[in-house]
Chain A
Amino acid sequence: MKNRLKVLRAERDWSQQDLADRLEVSRQSVNAIETGRYDPSLPLAFKIADVFGTQIEDIFQRD
């Protein structure tokens, strides 16, 4: 699954740790999701969408 986490983060000038703090997860988790090594659960995907104020499908796309 592809995602736009890095782009969305860059637009807000957030570091991975900044995003991790907002999501209440580890920086390691953000890195794993961002690099496509881990697909988040639906609850976490919704939380990510909420943090960026957008829809899940605007962040995650099929390969």
Chain B
Amino acid sequence: MTARTHIRGRPGLWVGLFFASAGVIIALRLSGAIEEPVGFILLALSMGLMIPFNKAMKNSACTYSEAMDVYNRRMMVCSIGYVLGLGIAIVLWRNYELADWTVFALTLLPILPTFGMIWAMARYLKEESDEYLRHKSMMASLAALGFVLALGIFWGFLEMFGLVPHIWAWWVLPAWAIGLAGAQLWQKVRGA
């Protein structure tokens, strides 16, 4: 798999549209204009904007390898699965009396796509043939891991002494993603 630097495409437009649509959907849900299941379905549909984003990335000035393309497609499928799975699980759990084993099965609906995301990250590092891009991704991943560990320890002790509320452990993945984005931004600023 080789990486090329292209000169056209506007991926920022599609990312902007995605965040704008997600913002509108969340606002509609919070105002009560739409029901919870509708919100989840609309959010999953808005993730379809990642398809033109992926195409725009291929034609943009950014370096975009084939492995990155495959990674983004895998992440998009997992993200749509996650939103739909979470939506179905929450709606069923809130509205029906379910046996424990059924609740366990329901929890797998958002869990499995999340595991898919972790698998996609691992496959990217395996499949990226450009060693410099792989090196940058690994450094950003390590920085993100450091961020999660630091945040977890910091928050954990504050929580133990009753200074902050409890947060669920699954927040490690969003926190890791924030750390990854921050590290990649830092690499860009540093010209790496």
Contacts and interface: CB of A to CB of B under 8 A. Distances in A.
Interface residues of B, number: 14
B14 to A, nearest CB: 22
B133 interface: yes
Interface string B111-135: 0000000000000000001111101
Given A17-B5, A37-B192, A38-B135, A28 B63 contact: yes
A22 to B, nearest CB: 11
* Interface SS of chain B: mixed
Nearest to A38: B132
Interface residues of A, number: 15
Interface of A: 17, 20, 24-29, 32-33, 37-38, 40-41, 44
Interface of B: 2-5, 63, 65, 129-133, 135, 191-192
List 6 tightest A-B contacts by C-beta distance, closest first.
A26-B3, A29-B132, A28-B63, A27-B5, A26-B63, A24-B2
16 contacts: A17-B5, A20-B5, A24-B2, A24-B129, A26-B4, A26-B63, A27-B5, A27-B63, A28-B5, A28-B132, A28-B133, A33-B132, A37-B191, A37-B192, A38-B135, A40-B131
